[in-house]
Structure 1
Amino acid sequence: MSTEQHDPSAGLVGAYVLGVLEPTEVAEVERHLSGCAPCRLEVAELRELEGALGEVPPEFLLDGPPEGGDLLLQRTLRQARRERGSELVRRRAWLGVGAVAAAAAVLAVGLSLGRSTAPAPPPVAVGPAPSATSASPPPAGTRTASVTDPSTGARMTLTLTPAMGWVRVNAAVTGIAAGERCHLVVNGRSGAKADAGSWLVSPAGARTGATLDGSALVDPGDVTSVSVVNEAGKTFVTVPV
């Protein structure tokens, strides 16, 4: 709406909707509205905006109003009251109020959309804390042993797990020099031997040891021991099981 095309009361339409006019000015604006369709339309639109802002639930403004928003609105209204005699100043004051209202509307709508479109957090299952007793027990027949060979200084901690006609071997081996090519050998009752895996001892493995997993096609009931042997046939350590 262009206020230059109307009488001075047109510049008070915004303040009229906000309810900050004196009684004489309210009467002046209402007389103008009775004969001005564009201003009546503007009043209706402003009241609609005012109603929409009033219906925004406070929980949508979780972070509060925009910083300085209340202060800006109060200063604008005080300026409008002090300088109401100037139509140009009235228009500037109403533009300031409109900017604050528009910012509040955008903030409210943005927060509302954010709340409605954000995915709900997944449900959190609450239960007892895990404990050592809740771990699955090892299979029946699992054997564990540890030996340090006094002559070589090599040590092996061994877990032998039975399967259907074969065994799984887990071994932690320390005390063997870097560069040695070693084999895990499963020894049977009849003197049979089965290779469960091999590795090259690295410098890091020589310092901190190595953990190995292997398997051998030996009946669990026939296994008597597991040895670490190099390719030259030297036995570093044997663990009876």
Structure 2
Amino acid sequence: MAPNFLGTDELNENDMLMEELPPEAALDGPPPDLDHLLQRTLGTVREERYQAVRRRGRITALSSTLVVAGVLAGGVWLGQGMGVGGTESVDALLQGTSSSGARMAVQVTDTEGGLKLVATVHGMQDGEACWLVVHTKDGRTFTAGSWRAHGGEVTLAGSAMVRAGDVTGVSVVDHDRLPLVTAN
């Protein structure tokens, strides 16, 4: 008897495997338009990536512009609140000299929240604890700032919850609340 290289069972198994394959598997070689399909697919991927990069660039530019605009608007707003914008006018300029030779000049400006003071004081004793005090028509006093004096001139900004029209004077007082110099 001759040897049986392929048995019936093996042929049936091969037939079953062939039935499971899609018809495209029986083609000889790749489809003829494969290069065109590959080029179209790569072109689509490139275009989508280009659009994503452009979109990201636009978002970055827009957000940067908004941040810069916000910073500028905040600076303008803060500048106006501090009187830098020039919209506030100085309501009073008070000056005074003490018998010991200390001098003081104070700009008084009315603001929405009360009173803003910019005082320039010269001639305080080195190391002296000083308080800037606002005096009103009805006898009240408001502390607007404090510092420790040194040998030179000091410019100090302060504020008080009172209207500029109610101010009768501004003093620099010592630790015992004795006036060192007063500007009227």
Q: Separation in 2 of the partners of 1:141 and 1:211?
A: 16
Deviations 1:135-183 (A, max 9, x none): 965624521132212x121100110111125100101101111111000
Map 1:160-175 to 2 at 5 A: 160-175=108-123
Q: Are the aligned partners of 1:146 and 1:158 in contact in 2 as well (CA < 8 Å)?
A: yes
What secondary structure, in the 3-state scheme, does the structure 2 residue paired with 1:177 have? coil
Unaligned runs of 5+ in 1: 1-134
Map 1:87-98 to 2 at 5 A: none
Aligned residue in 1 for 2:92: 143
Matched, 1:188 2:136: yes
Q: 2:157 aligns with which of 178, 192, 213?
A: 213
What secondary structure, in the 3-state scheme, does the structure 2 residue paired with 1:211 have? strand
Residues 141 and 201 (structure 1), Cα distance of their counterparts in 2 relative to 1, 3 Å cut: closer
Identity percentage over the alignment? 38
Deviations 1:60-103 (A, max 9, x none): xxxxxxxxxxxxxxxxxxxxxxxxxxxxxxxxxxxxxxxxxxxx
Q: Are the aligned partners of 1:160 and 1:167 in contact in 2 as well (CA < 8 Å)?
A: yes
Q: Are the aligned partners of 1:165 and 1:220 in contact in 2 as well (CA < 8 Å)?
A: no
Matched, 1:239 2:183: yes
Map 1:151-166 to 2 at 5 A: 151-166=99-114
What secondary structure, in the 3-state scheme, does the structure 2 residue paired with 1:221 have? helix
What secondary structure, in the 3-state scheme, does the structure 2 residue paired with 1:176 have? coil
Map 1:114-125 to 2 at 5 A: none
Q: Are the aligned partners of 2:135 and 2:170 in contact in 1 as well (CA < 8 Å)?
A: yes
What secondary structure, in the 3-state scheme, does the structure 2 residue paired with 1:179 have? coil
What secondary structure, in the 3-state scheme, does the structure 2 residue paired with 1:227 have? strand
Q: 1:179 aligns with which of 118, 123, 127?
A: 127
Q: Separation in 1 of the partners of 2:94 and 2:131?
A: 18
Q: Number of aligned pairs?
A: 101
Unaligned runs of 5+ in 2: 1-83
The alignment's C-alpha RMSD in Å is 1.9
Q: Which runs of 4+ in 1 moved over 3 A?
A: 135-138
2:91 partner amino acid: T
TM-score, length-scaled by structure 2: 0.51
Structure (1 or 2) with the greater strand fraction = 2
Q: Separation in 1 of the partners of 2:96 and 2:87?
A: 21
Higher relative contact order (Cα pairs below 8 Å, separated by 6+ residues): 2
Structure (1 or 2) with the greater helix fraction = 1
Q: Separation in 2 of the partners of 1:153 and 1:143?
A: 23
Q: Are the aligned partners of 2:90 and 2:107 in contact in 1 as well (CA < 8 Å)?
A: no
Residues 141 and 170 (structure 1), Cα distance of their counterparts in 2 relative to 1, 3 Å cut: closer
